[in-house]
Amino acid sequence: MPCKRALIALLCLTIIVLITSICQSFHTNFRAVGRNGTLRYEPTELDLGQMRFLAGLSDSENLRRTVQRISIKRVVGTPGHSKVRNYIVDYLKKLDWNVELDLFTQKVPIKSAVTFQNIVARQNPRAQRYLMFGCHYDSKYFKDFDFMAATDSAVPCALLLNMATILRNQFHRSDISLMLVFFDGEEAFGEWSAEDSLYGSRHLAELWEKHGLLDKIDLFVLLDLIGARDVVFKKNIPNTSGWFHRLVQLEKMLFQAGILRLERPLFKFEPSTDVDDDHLPFTRRNVPVIHLISNKYPAVWHLAEDVEKNVDYNTTEQVGLVLRMFVMEYLNSAPNTVYQL
């Protein structure tokens, strides 16, 4: 009998240890950020009142105007390219962001040497850690037609500028801040290849690695191919699925609160394969990434029809709202010091 009791006690103890370790590993996964997973993040969820407040700050007119300003032909080295770059830089400077250009010249197919300019904007340039958002502002060159590249990626860039406008009075200068990166030269000049694509992101990731700046990035959220009515995001990078799940949850909470007009979830916790994009030079260097690219490519992808008037603003607003919640939850929760696990 004592033997049986001891066995039951041992069994109970094993179960308790098992449950505790499962809970802890899930919890730790959710909190660990940064390249080596050694930085700690303290989540504080938004309450319903805060969600309603943030939703009420939407500015659809600003979003539409911004998409219109960026949806022009902007192949690297052309006047349209400079125009869009200047527009983004001026836009963020007016909002009191610190804006820097990462400039470099490189020989590319079709053209001779071209000068690329990544735009790096920091809300608080003295912050120790960053939640980074990115998109590409160049458009692909096509010989036969003018490509305005609204979904690819004027809308993603406009979503980031719109976010900066809407949240301008919500940022508090803490040790964790928001960084927006507008990559140049994402598109290939000829056929897409490892050498002919991702010019800007490859340059920036290498530069930051050299200067030890990659360690300051908690998490990098890359936006691409957004603006079509059938946009949908899936779990395409397994090691950040905890973060992607938070986006899924936030959208669900917005539905439940009756804040979202559409009844269609755009963030789905379903596995899918990832595709090449500006995040690759960063994931290769162990920066945690959420890649928000529509799982179903827009029907207008790389076609003359990818213009502003074909953008669906209902879904685009919905994406913007979920991202805004995510950002505020992250930044509000920012601890004042850098914790090591």
Q: Could you tell me which stretch among 15-23, 146-154, 245-253, 324-332 binds Zn ion (CB under 5 A)?
A: 146-154
Does residue 184 touch Zn ion according to CB under 5 A? Answer: no
Does residue 224 touch Zn ion according to CB under 5 A? Answer: no
Does residue 152 touch Zn ion according to CB under 5 A? Answer: yes
Based on CB atoms, which residue is closest to Zn ion, 152 or 209? 152
Question: What is the smallest separation between the CB atom of 81 and Zn ion, expressed in angstroms?
Answer: 15
63 touches 307 (CB < 8 A) = no
Size of the site for Zn ion (CB under 5 A): 2
Based on CB atoms, which residue is closest to Zn ion, 75 or 161? 75
Q: Could you tell me which stretch among 81-89, 144-152, 311-319, 324-332 binds Zn ion (CB under 5 A)?
A: 144-152
Question: What is the smallest separation between the CB atom of 31 and Zn ion, expressed in angstroms?
Answer: 35
Based on CB atoms, which residue is closest to Zn ion, 152 or 184? 152
> What residues are annotated to the active site?
186, 224
Question: What is the smallest separation between the CB atom of 144 and Zn ion, expressed in angstroms?
Answer: 16
Based on CB atoms, which residue is closest to Zn ion, 153 or 240? 153
Binding residues (CB under 5 A) for Zn ion: these are 140, 152
